[in-house]
A and B are shown apart, each in its own frame.
Chain A
């Protein structure tokens, strides 16, 4: 008995139980909705179960590594990610009019996914190094580190990922104490640079933004997504139409209903009550993450934990915002719920870092 207890202890000692339960609850909700969204496609649901299992195993492995070890990886990971992004820009496969994948012969990879983890690590590492002497030029250096990959991803073009990576980097800057004056300045500059961004955007991206302003303008084209998902959410009402009873979903009026638009399926079938519970569940997970962040002992761990937490929130907000029609459709999945292995692994990798921060002995700086 004691032996089993001991093994169990070694197995779970670096896992944050509270966070794990939240994650499992959300992925479970995801599977239930996926079953309905695919019209009862068991093979797709089991495939997602495999995705989740793989992501959980990776999470367990990474959570067992103390963050000082992970910290060493910050610079190499960033450099590898950046070179791969340059590789994509030069030799990437064109798919869907966008160049996102790199064929390494053995396997195809999407380097922008790696950057989602590498950017917060790198920027936190950078500020940790310059801890004592934080000057304006340090912030400027960090901004360059951030904007290089963001620009490359924007050119692919992958607006959704570029926004998320830019956000994750900005959160590090913000938490590291970037002065309010500069933040306001940056926001002004961002608004001012809109015409430039507009000019590098692809037609379909502009179309999405135009359609956001007036979806009815193009009911068969880009506006179709937003109109149909708004109808799905709205017609769900307070109590929803019931599991597998959403007419929008089952009659195939909803686009991409197992991936980016899965929230509309959930909303149609479980109504405002379901939405309330889902938002609360997300808030609980975010709350736990914020507590871990607040208790982190070093500048490095604080910054990285904060960035991961806020990015997680950003995913939720951007996805729900676009599905409910208050943000343009930019192609961001709903974390832990949307179908797909890559985003599941990226999400749980983030959580594993938080767990590692929380569960490994905290070093007090002297």
Chain B
């Protein structure tokens, strides 16, 4: 019985299936006929119409590329500009033998192996019917030479193009960044943000720095020309013309003169300097040494230069001011001191007797002061002036890591400041929660001790340090650091100010601030760790030296600069602002592998201050400083 039912079902099922399959077949034929009807309509009924469109009078829409906005410093010095020049371009699809064409061209116009390499790389990345540059900036003689030989080179043309140029090269390369040819990734980005239309015809896009972050302002709006062309692509007449709108000009808060003075003060040393205006957060100088020639990247960098920049041990492509993370060292102490006063863990009068080391109760390990034998009696004021480590070891233990984290976090250490260029890193201001998450370990009292003097897990960028220094200088106002001060509309010529942005106002007691600030002034006076940098200064300035360890020193060993590999030597740091009573500039300096902050970093700060406040060039400052060398004092931390 069951067997029978199943058989009947089986047969019925097959019948049903075959019926359905027949219906499907009918649909397939029907839909193919529909397609065929569409083809017939396009290719027979409307053939003439489309033939006209395609062959006889093709209307093509030609994009008109806007001029890119210019970039100036705060005094109107040009940092990025455009120039028009003639370029030798090749359309690969129109050339039979690229190699021999290149060889023949090289016999009449200078073409370096680098030009060739770059061109071949471009050719691989581009469509064959795109016109690609082989040489830029042809001289008049070269143009004339090519013109007389032109008949020999089908597919090779001279074209007038607009080029970008960065006249200041290394000096501001880490701020300005560069533009370069649009690649597939850029195209994807543009498609996502729905801007592809505006880049029809554009060859370049900002890749890094201001050029990248302000791409929208700088690029402008592409115009269009509707042109009738014949089958060969020659235009017959223009039907309509929508002019492009140039990109807006940017006026940076950067002071080129100050930037140059800072560069000069660094000399050949590696490091970074960020100077801010404490009244509004404007970035006055933004140095990362070494820099690189950003002009190299515009047309696509050649392999040789790329290898040189990318493999260099000095890492010139690394933006140290924005992306370099360093332990803040003793520059961390003013913030610790403020925490102690604000949280009521120390009074200004309280003092310790410094034996030259600190030990946690019941633990053998000794945390050494930088000065063997210690500083004697030390109160809060003196702890900053002579940079006493022992004082802070004990203080940190009393404060506890999480108080340190939440109080000093207000000054922006271990967080991105939000500056208006991309790529900033956050660094690290440790907390017990962080350690638990990162290492699945609890926080030990010993971890806090090294945090006290800005070592341990602490990592900050020079930009963050400058930001934090600004907040002390202006009594608690956290202004967003920004590089662009004004935007000039390309159409109206009107200049629009970018208003300062107050991110946060820290609630600090004026009395406590004053105690710390007075100590910072004494740092630059005789007896202070940065005294030598302030000799003969006509204004007062306040600061704090620091030394940032690159490698750990074992218990019982001493740091000996001469016996250590140069790249493992300590980084010198200095944070400062001036004039102390009414700060106009706040900064952070870091110089890699040069030892102590007082001897190398503080003089750089002095030169920058002298230029900014007095208009005095670095050479004169150095002369003043060396007039009265006092060798009796040791270098201090």
Contacts and interface: CB of A to CB of B under 8 A. Distances in A.
Contacts of B200: 220
A324 B46 CA distance: 13
A35 interface: no
Interface in B202-257: 224, 231, 233
Interface string B8-52: 011001001110110011001001101110111011101101110
Contact of B55 (A177, A247, A271): A247
Residues of A contacting B: mostly:
helix
B6 A132 contact: yes
B127 interface: yes
Interface stretch (A22-30, A71-79, A230-238): A230-238
Given A132-B9, A294-B21, A231 B53 contact: yes
Contact of A232 (B17, B54, B60, B224): B54
Contact of B24 (A175, A220, A275): A175
Contact of B13 (A203, A238, A299): A299
Nearest to A98: B192
B434 interface: no
B406 interface: no
B188 interface: yes
Interface in A271-294: 271-272, 275-276, 279, 282-283, 286, 290, 293-294
Interface string A241-256: 0000001101111000
Contacts of A234: 42-43, 46-47, 49-51, 53-54
A310 B24 contact: yes
Contacts of B196: 221
B93 A39 contact: yes
A348 interface: no
A39 B185 CA distance: 24
B129 interface: yes
Contacts of B38: 321, 324-326
B47 A237 contact: yes
A234 B52 CA distance: 10
Contacts of B49: 234
Contact of B20 (A96, A175, A235, A365): A175
Interface string A205-232: 0000000000000011100000000111
A241 to B, nearest CB: 9
Nearest to B12: A177
A245 to B, nearest CB: 11
B76 to A, nearest CB: 38
B442 interface: no
B142 interface: no
A144 to B, nearest CB: 22
A324 B39 contact: yes
Contact of B31 (A39, A177, A302, A317): A317
Contacts of A235: 47, 50-51, 53-55
Contact of A174 (B18, B20, B55): B20
A342 interface: no
Contacts of B51: 234-235, 237
B630 to A, nearest CB: 61
Point out which of A171, A204, A294 has the most chain B C-beta atoms below 10 A from its C-beta. A294
A313 interface: yes
B311 interface: no
Contact of A248 (B34, B36, B54, B128): B54
B353 interface: no
A97 B18 contact: no
Interface size bracket, B side: 35 or more
B35 A267 contact: no
A247 B54 contact: yes
A320 interface: yes
A41 B42 contact: no
Interface residues of A, number: 57
A253 B16 CA distance: 49
Point out which of B18, B54, B191, B224 has the most chain A C-beta atoms below 10 A from its C-beta. B54
Contacts of B31: 313, 317
Contacts of B231: 247
Given A175-B21, A247-B54, A238 B61 contact: no
B53 A41 contact: no
B197 interface: yes
Contacts of A92: none
B194 interface: yes
A175 B14 CA distance: 10
Contacts of B188: 95-96
Given A220-B197, A279-B32, A231 B20 contact: no
B32 A302 contact: no
B271 to A, nearest CB: 37
A95 B189 CA distance: 9
A306 interface: yes
Contacts of A175: 17, 20-21, 24
A251 B233 contact: yes
B39 A267 contact: yes
A211 to B, nearest CB: 13
Nearest to B53: A231
Contacts of A299: 13, 17
Contact of A230 (B9, B28, B42): B42
Nearest to A326: B38
A324 to B, nearest CB: 5
Given A97-B192, A220-B61, A235-B47, A321 B35 contact: yes
B128 A39 contact: yes
Nearest to A41: B128
A16 B233 CA distance: 49
Given A95-B188, A235-B50, A279-B35, A324 B197 contact: no
A365 B10 contact: yes
Contacts of A320: 35
Point out which of B21, B43, B192, B194 has the most chain A C-beta atoms below 10 A from its C-beta. B43
A307 to B, nearest CB: 10
Given A177-B13, A233-B42, A272-B39, A286 B28 contact: yes
A203 B191 CA distance: 12
A284 to B, nearest CB: 12
B194 to A, nearest CB: 7
A326 B43 CA distance: 15
A230 B93 CA distance: 25
Nearest to A305: B21
Contacts of B127: 39, 252
A175 B19 CA distance: 9
Contacts of B16: 177
Contact of A252 (B39, B40, B47, B129): B129
Contacts of B6: 132
Contacts of B192: 96-97
Contacts of A232: 54
Contacts of B55: 235, 247
A252 to B, nearest CB: 5
Interface string A308-326: 0010010001001100111
A250 B93 CA distance: 9
Give 9 nearest A-B pairs by CB, closest first. Answer: A234-B50, A235-B54, A234-B42, A97-B192, A235-B50, A272-B43, A39-B128, A237-B47, A235-B51
Interface of A: 38-41, 95-97, 131-132, 171, 174-175, 177, 203-204, 219-221, 230-238, 247-248, 250-253, 267, 271-272, 275-276, 279, 282-283, 286, 290, 293-294, 299, 302, 306, 310, 313, 317, 320-321, 324-326, 365
Interface of B: 6, 9-10, 13, 16-18, 20-21, 24-25, 28, 31-32, 34-36, 38-40, 42-44, 46-47, 49-51, 53-55, 60-61, 93, 127-129, 188, 191-192, 194, 196-197, 200, 224, 231, 233
6 contacts: A38-B128, A177-B13, A220-B200, A231-B54, A234-B42, A299-B17
Given A175-B21, A283-B32, A299-B17, 18 more contacts: A39-B127, A39-B128, A96-B188, A97-B191, A233-B42, A234-B42, A235-B55, A237-B44, A267-B39, A275-B39, A279-B35, A279-B36, A294-B21, A317-B31, A321-B35, A325-B38, A326-B34, A365-B10
